[in-house]
Amino acid sequence: MIELRPFSSLGGADHGWLKARHHFSFASYHDPRRVHWGALRVWNDDEIAPGAGFDPHPHRDMEIITYVREGAITHRDSMGNEGRTEAGDVQIMSAGTGVIHSEYNLETVPTRIFQIWIIPDLRGARPNWGTKRFPKENRDGAFEVLASGRAADAGSGALPINADAAVMAAALKPGQSAALALAPGRVAYLVPARGRITVNGIAAGARDGVAVRDEERLTVTATEDAEVVLVEAAA
C-alpha cells in the first residue's frame, strides 16, 4: 500500500520567523488519520528566518533527527553540547531522561530543515547528541543510512538512535533508481527534499509525503534531479 500525501494537504503554521508544515499531527494541527506511521511520530518541514530559532525548551523519551536541506542550524543543550550542522548533513538528539536544547539559524539566509521524531524502543535512556557530515556523493544513486538503531547498521558510520529504525537519503539523476527491500512488519515514509520521483510507479513532487506499508520492495525513480529522505521503521 502506497499513500501519497501532497504537500498542499499537510498541516502547518506561519509564525513569521518560522514557516512550518506538518506531515503528522503536531502542536495545534491534529488529524486523527495522521498521528504517526509506525514508530515515526513527527516529520516537520521547517523554514527558519535568519537570526531566529527555537529558544531553550525540554524534551524526553524521543529520538529527534534533523536533516538540513538549506542553510545551517546551530544547536546548544543542557548536556554542554554545541554544534553547527550544514546543508546535507544530519544531527541527532536522543532525549532520553530529559534534555533542554535550543536550535537557531545564525546564518544570513533562511534555513530549511526536515525535523523527524521517532518513538524510542528504550525509554529512560541517557540523553545523547551528535552531528556528522555526510558527503552527498556517497548517496548518488543509492540510499545511504544517516541515522539508525537497527542492528544491521552497527558499525556503518550512521549516527546512533535508540529505535529499531533508520533515516536514509539518496540523490538521483533523471531516470536513475534506488531500491529498498521492506521486510514484513516494517513501514517506510519518504519525502523528496527536491525534485520529482515515482515510488513503485506512484508520482510524487518536492516535499510531498509518501507513506508505505505491505510492500516487499520499493523502487524510487527520479523524473528530474531529486534528493529523497526516507525513514524505515517498525510498524
Which residues have CB under 8 Å from 137's CB, separation 6+?
none
Write out the residue range of the structural domain in which residue 123 sits: 2-234
Q: What is the pLDDT of residue 136?
A: 85
* Residue 78 CB neighbours (<10 A): 13
Per the structure, the count of domains in the chain is 1
Q: The domain that contains 83 carries what CATH number?
A: 2.60.120.10
CA distance 68 to 90: 6
Q: What is the pLDDT of residues 101-146, one digit of tens each?
A: 999 999 999 999 999 999 999 899 999 999 999 998 889 999 999 9
- pTM of this prediction exceeds 0.85: yes
The contacts of residue 87 (CB under 8 Å, 6+ apart) are 68, 69, 70, 71, 72
pLDDT digits (tens, 9 = 90+) for 166-176: 999 999 999 99
| Model pLDDT, residue 142 | 96
- Do 140 and 115 touch, CB atoms closer than 8 A? no
Cβ within 8 Å of residue 93, ≥6 positions away: 59, 63, 64, 66, 75, 77, 99, 101, 127, 128, 129
